[in-house]
Structure 1
Amino acid sequence: MPYARKARDRGQVALEYLGFVPVLLLVALAGIQVGLIAYAAQQAGTAARAGARAASLEQSAQAACSNAVSDWLTVTCGAGGGGDEVTVTAVVRIPSVVPGWQFDPAEKTATMPLDRTGAERGTP
């Protein structure tokens, strides 16, 4: 029997697989994390545009920012500017799925002109 297995070789493949499972899990979690980073950046851009649109109409930028992002994300918006335009910066905290990995928040800015025509006519 040229291909007879020795009793001590049984289970070797299972042990090698178990040793490789943590590496596979880490790669999978890193892939999910990259997707979360991209999603948070996209949501920050959406929140900044919504906040700038609301602020240009003299409404609450923070409320518009919060309504524009997914409920499980945390967003803060700050409005500024002067003259004929308003600038809103949205900051979205990036959640971490890999223990020990921390990321700076995603930050996006949007600028829109103030809508003075509606205010002058007395319409919202």
Structure 2
Amino acid sequence: MAARSRDRGQVAVEFVGMVPLILLLVAAVWECVLIGYAFSLAGNAADEAARVGAVHGEAACGAAARRHIGDAWAVQVSCGSAGDIYKATVSLHVPVLFPGLDIGVPITGEGGSSQEKEGE
């Protein structure tokens, strides 16, 4: 019985010691999810912007890219023709724990679409 009384509270002490490590692991996994989401978001926005820009021009291209990305993300869009292909490049910054707080590392998505004329 004496050995048993010395071990009382041991699980609580171990749990308190592990909580910071568990929280750090959760934060690291969440950051990886945000980075993956940023890659997906940038690529999709660039594809959509290139499709719209191929028909309607550069102003519509930038608006289409921003429409597919939330206001919390810092976004830079560049659009233009390259021969018969209309290209769009969307750049987002890697967020730290939530969009809006970034470290300045860009994630770039590129999209292209064949040139079209409205009405064809």
TM-score bucket (shorter structure): 0.7 to 0.9
- Where does residue 5 of structure 1 map in the other structure? 5
The TM-score, its normalising length taken from structure 1, stands at 0.78
The higher radius of gyration belongs to 1
**Aligned pair 1:69/2:69, yes or no?**
yes
The TM-score, its normalising length taken from structure 2, stands at 0.80
**Aligned pair 1:22/2:23, yes or no?**
no
- Where does residue 104 of structure 1 map in the other structure? 105
Is residue 65–residue 76 contact of structure 1 (8 Å, CA) maintained in 2? Answer: no
The alignment-based identity, stated in percent, is 30
Residues of 2 paired with 1:103 and 1:19: CA distance? 33
Aligned-partner residue type, residue 76 of structure 1: Q
Residues of 1 paired with 2:113 and 2:30: CA distance? 34
What count of residue pairs does the alignment treat as equivalent?
Answer: 115
Residues of 2 paired with 1:67 and 1:4: CA distance? 64
Distance 1:52 1:4, change over 3 A: closer
Aligned-pair CA distance for 1:102: 3.8
Distance 1:31 1:103, change over 3 A: farther
Secondary structure in 2 matching 1:73? coil
Secondary structure in 1 matching 2:13? helix
Structure with higher strand content: 2
Residues of 2 paired with 1:86 and 1:36: CA distance? 29
- Where does residue 32 of structure 1 map in the other structure? 30
**Aligned pair 1:53/2:51, yes or no?**
yes
**Pairwise CA RMSD:** 2.4
**Aligned pair 1:115/2:113, yes or no?**
no
Q: Which runs of 5+ in 2 are unaligned?
A: none
**Aligned pair 1:92/2:98, yes or no?**
no
Q: Which runs of 5+ in 1 are unaligned?
A: none
